[in-house]
Structure 1
Amino acid sequence: MEHGVGVNKLQLHLGASNSVSSILPLTSEQMSPLLSNEREDSEDIQQLQEPSKELPKLLDNASYLIHLAVFGILGVLTRYTLDKLFGPSVGHVTSDQTILYLDLPSNMVGSFLMGWFGVVFKEDISNVSKYLAVALTTGYLGSLTTFSGWNQKMLELSVTGNWLFVVLGFLIGLFLVAFSIIFGIETAKGFRWLLTRLNVTSGSETSRDKTKAKVEAFKHHLVVMLVFLLILGLLWGVSGVLMIAEFKNGENAYLWIACIVGPLGVWIRWLLSRLNGHGLGSRGLLSWMRFGTLTANVSAACIMAALATTKIYVNTRDCDTIVKGIQFGLFGCLSTVSTFVAEFNEMRESEHPWRAYVYTIITICSSFFLGILIYSVPIWRMDEI
């Protein structure tokens, strides 16, 4: 009995002290949820299959990029839909003038779904397809949520002197997205329990291994990649046609620009995520800090602020449309709340919960204060003139 308790305590200690929790399987990607499955799953599959059935490295990376692009565009479209649904034009729940900023619903929904697909059902999705796992979390949920849009709305409130709204906007916004991922995790666990009671879950380990070996076969990979490439071409083609048609007179032209440039933001964030878990210098100082996600969020927030300043100075319809499309697509997809809040929750549940709050304060404060210098200060000086 004592031996069993000791083993359990040891397991709990190892789980808590590990810099990577079950929420963030950070091996090849000490970064965004599920991305680590790229390396973990590929290593498992190499043991199960012949090397000839693996995609070459170039095609492997291309498959990731194509999946990320398709799901990134879908994330942009979903974020736009939620903004309209809850915004002033339909639901009147969110607005640019209150602490309930326009992107809050999409950030909450994305964080909730991250609890499902990035935590509880992470391994199940990876067993089906490692590309789908990355596409859902890094591609779709990362693009559905946006940190730079959140930061920019707080900067716009600061310009008008609504500092109380700024503070409340960050505090309430963080609370809501943090609660959303916790609620997502708990409901997903309940659903998994229900599936277990109904005997819907997979059977033996052998059957899972066989399924994985079958799904990860070379021909299957190649066919799926070509299908997604066709879908990506169709999405880009339709977006290009609609952008040209609506650029001069349509109010949604910025959305189609966003769909065209959004995948670039996803790709950059995917590459930056490799900085997570490595720390600083040869000794790997502060390896618990997610420098990849931090760099993506802060840089996107700063460039979005710079574009917002440019838009005000130029003040033309065409410039507004182009800049808004780049902001909504490229930098909305480069930054992410779903990964950020998953990392926050992972740190909060570790044996060093203070790291979660330090990481959050650094991310929010650096983005906001740099944004003040880039956006708010020039606007204040313009008003004085």
Structure 2
Amino acid sequence: MSEPPTSHDNLVHLEHEYELENLKEVEREHSAHRHSHITIHSSYLVLLLSFVFFSILGTCIRLGLLAVFAYSDSPVASIVYPQIVGCAIIGFVNVYKSEITVGYYPLYIGLTTGLCGSITTFSSWSLATFKSFMSPSPGIGYQIASFLALIVSTIAMSLISADFGRHVGEAAGPLLYKKRRSPFIGVNMAPRTWLPKELAVLDAFFLVLALASIGTSISLGFWNSPHSDLMWALVLSPLGTLLRFHLSVLNSRMPAFPLGTFIANMIGTGVIAALYLYSASIAGSCTLVHGIANGFCGCLTTISTWIVELKTIPSITKAYIYGLASTVGGQILLVLIAGSPLLFRPHGSECL
């Protein structure tokens, strides 16, 4: 005959029921957050304005970093520095994705797709890696070492920078937001007309910034001809960002292999390879070549988004496949398109 439950047994039973109920509540909240979408009232035109401003700003930052760190005794190649800065920024911004998106969606898209995507560049990095292998050296071993060093250092520093930005963002959380919003997995953008009564203050602010940045960029070419290549780079940069933004809709079709980012990086690398071939074969002005390579290709391709995708793909095996396919694919395009001029002209392109 079993003994009647004691008060201690009843207490343990109640504690187990309480813990079980808490676990169920946490799971319900987690499931709701995981499957939640939010609706944002915004205009496609406002997104375009944010792309214009942040693309031009990002291109200026990238070209400035390349110019500052392009000296002979630099510890790493100058192309690494823009990737460090862009990945650190996107790591920081993604900590506050929910808050920025709900507060003003074009700002989040502008900071990530526009600014970080324009500071970092996959095409110029691929070209620099290709040139490090094809450049004259004492032996093939030096070429292979230089080639691998630039690949490993860029990817490693980009991954570390993204984590560093995230750490800074998490540490600064209590100072920036007293109450954090729950995460969500998607945004439904409700269209908003461009009527004055529906024009937000930030919309008007971005309109002014976009017009001012375009006007300043064009004025560089008219008033100071030595900077006409910079003018073309700045003017063409929003076109690259916009194309990348539209290609990003393909990413959801293959979550383990973001097709949109991959296609954008391959197109940009192919174009810059063709520019390298053109400039190495035909003597002439480098103005437009610089403009397309640094502006359109530089903003069409991105390392910051690529790094975030590598870190968020659930399967480590599939992440390696995606990373290797992108890296190797870019080099194959460069060899197929731009390999021939270096075989006949060891010094390569006069422009790139």
TM-score, scaled relative to structure 1: 0.73
Q: Return the match for 1:150 from 125, 134, 138.
A: 125
**Change in 2 beyond 3 A, CA 1:245/1:204:** closer
Task: Tell me the residue number matched to 1:244.
Answer: 222
Partners of 1:204 and 1:170 in 2: how far apart? 37
Residues 204-215 of structure 1: matches in 2 within 5 Å? none
Tell me which residue corresponds to 1:169: 150
Q: Which amino acid letter does the alignment assign opposite residue 102 of structure 1?
A: S
Distance 2:154 2:303 in 1: 10
Q: Which has the larger radius of gyration?
A: 2
- Give 1:345's aligned residue: 311
Q: Is the 8 A contact 2:135 2:346 kept in 1?
A: no
Contact kept in structure 2, 1:101 and 1:150, CA below 8 Å: no
Shift of residue 253, structure 1, vs aligned partner: 2.8
Look up the equivalent residue of 2:216 and give its one-letter code. Answer: V
Query: Higher mean Cα deviation, 259-268 or 216-225?
Result: 216-225
What RMSD, in angstroms, separates the aligned Cα atoms of the two structures? 3.2
Matched letter for residue 368 of structure 1: Q
The equivalent of 1:112 in structure 2 is: 88
Trace 1:116-265 onto structure 2 (pairs within 5 A): 116-117=92-93, 119-160=94-135, 162-192=143-173, 194-195=174-175, 201-202=178-179, 219=197, 221-247=199-225, 250=226, 252-265=227-240
Structure 1 residue 134, shift from structure 2 partner: 0.4
Is the 1:72–1:143 contact (alpha carbons within 8 Å) kept by the matching residues of 2? yes
Per the TM alignment, residue 342 of structure 1 is displaced from its structure 2 partner at its CA by 0.5
- Contact kept, 8 Å, 2:122 with 2:303, in 1: the verdict is yes
Identity score, percent: 25
Q: 1:330 aligns with which of 279, 290, 296?
A: 296
Measure, in 2, the Cα distance between the counterparts of 1:244 and 1:315. Answer: 24
Unpaired runs of 5+ residues, structure 1, are 16-20, 28-39, 46-53, 95-99, 206-215, 280-286
Distance 1:333 1:71 in 2: 10
TM-score calculated relative to the size of structure 2:
0.80
- Ranges in structure 2 where 5+ consecutive residues have no aligned partner: 1-15, 137-142, 183-192, 348-352
3-state secondary structure, aligned to 1:229: helix
Change (3 A) 1:217 1:6: farther
Q: Summarize deviations over 1:40-67 as a string: whole Å, max 9, x none.
A: 44x2x5xxxxxxxx55xxxx11111111
Aligned AA for 2:170? K
Q: Structure 1's 378 and 203: CA in aligned 2 closer, same or farther, altered over 3 A?
A: closer
State the shift of 1:310 in Å: 0.6
- CA offset digits 1:233-276 (Å, max 9, x no partner): 222222212113333xx2x3322211111000000000000000
CA contact (8 A) 2:98 2:181 kept: no
- Alignment-derived partner of residue 321 in structure 1: 287
**Mapped partners of 1:276, 1:357: distance in 2:** 17
Match in the other structure for 1:61: 44
Q: Secondary structure at the match of 2:252?
A: coil
The answer (yes or no) to whether the contact 1:156–1:376 under 8 Å persists in 2 is no
Cα offset, 1:93, TM superposition: 2.4
Figure out how many residues of one structure are paired with residues of the other and give that number.
Answer: 313
